[in-house]
Structure 1
Amino acid sequence: MRAFRNACGKFATGIVVITTEHEGKVHGMTANGFMSVSLDPNLVLISIDNSKRMHQFLHESKKYAISVLAHHQEKWSRHFAGSPQDDLLVEFVDFHGAKVVPEACAYFETSVVSTHIEGDHTLFVGQVNNFACTEDDPILYFKGSYMKLV
């Protein structure tokens, strides 16, 4: 499994924080399993480990938001990847009714239109209801390390 993970790590990706609301509370999770699926209609996809709490939350809420992290947001990534950052004040902002990470470089607010169980992950396809982006550069993830565009 480690060798496969290392091979996949050769593909540089952006980092997103996926958020959804469950029982009145916002839950977030760092991921790099995110991609555009269709331009007409606007569809995106996230890949979630079936054993994660987010998996159940998404099945129940049937919606999610994506915050594409900017080059200066490594702390947000680490925090929602399971390494709480003591000096990070987690306050989400509203984006068309969804809660997102402030100062991210792109946002997507979605409604789940289909799910596909594939191995130990589920693919959640989201119809994009609203999106926005800035001119900021994203943070990148490559071979297990955070990188910035030069």
Structure 2
Amino acid sequence: MSVDPQELRRVGGHFATGVTVVTAEHGGVTCGLTVNAFMTVSLEPPLVLVSIGTASRSLPCVSSAERFGISVLSEDQEAVARVFAGKDDHKLARVPARRGLTGVPLVEGAIAWLECRTEQRFGAGDHVLFLARVEGLGARTGRPLLFFRGRYVRLAT
């Protein structure tokens, strides 16, 4: 049975996700991209997974870096999500950012952040999956930005 990729995207869009920005630095070059395919895999050891499309301009940078950051965006950061969803090579220069304890770039104002070291990387169709160990993390109060049916949305109160 054949599955139409656009239909799979439409059906998968019915699953609301949080919105993250994955950032890295390699060879003095910083990169980042908006990612909604993120999950906690294990609490002990602390492992997370992110999925990055093979067509992403940021994939070579994230793949080459030993570590990367994950910033969970707040509901007020839709503009940040759009910057990192674009094709600009200097995205981190366009948003407030800071360095984490491990040196990875992180988006300022995110409601949560993780600093990760890549443990495994493997191809999965048109994406590359990164299994990573969490080396640092934090959170603040706030509400997350969500992605649902192809749009950014907010939690209802």
Question: Aligned equivalents of 1:149 and 1:124: distance in 2?
Answer: 28
Please, which of 77, 81, 90 is the counterpart of residue 95 of structure 2?
Answer: 90
The aligned residue for residue 19 of structure 2 is: 15
Amino acid of the structure 1 residue aligned with 2:37: G
Matched, 1:30 2:28: no
The CA deviation string for residues 102-150 of structure 1, in whole angstroms up to 9 with x for no partner, is 0100000000001121111110011000000111110000001111112
How far is the alpha carbon of 1:53 from its aligned partner? 2.5
Percent of aligned pairs with the same amino acid: 37
- Structure 1 position 63, deviation (Å): 1.4
The answer to whether the Cα contact below 8 Å between 2:98 and 2:106 also exists between their aligned partners in 1 is: yes
1:77 aligned partner, one-letter code: A
Q: Which runs of 5+ in 1 are unaligned?
A: none
Residue 84 of structure 2 corresponds to: 80
Residue 62 of structure 1 deviates from its aligned partner by 2.3
Q: TM-score with structure 1 length normalisation?
A: 0.92
The 5 A counterparts of 1:1-150 are: 1-82=5-86, 89-96=94-101, 97-150=103-156
Paired residue secondary structure (1:53): coil
Q: Which runs of 4+ in 1 moved over 6 A?
A: none
| 1:11 alignment partner, SS class | coil
TM-score (norm: length of structure 2): 0.89
Determine the C-alpha separation between the residues in 2 that align with 1:117 and 1:61.
17
> What do residues 45-101 of structure 1 show as CA deviations (whole Å, max 9, x unaligned)?
1001122232211221121100000010000000110177xxx94231111111111
Which one-letter code corresponds to 2:65 in the other structure?
A: S
Kindly indicate whether the alpha-carbon contact (under 8 Å) linking 2:57 and 2:87 is maintained by their aligned counterparts in 1: no
5+ unaligned residues in a row in structure 2: which ranges? Answer: none
Q: Counterpart of 1:78 in 2: which secondary structure?
A: helix
The count of aligned residue pairs is: 147
**Aligned-partner SS, 2:109:** coil
CA contact 2:31–2:62 (8 Å) conserved in 1: no
User: What is the deviation of 1:22?
Assistant: 2.2
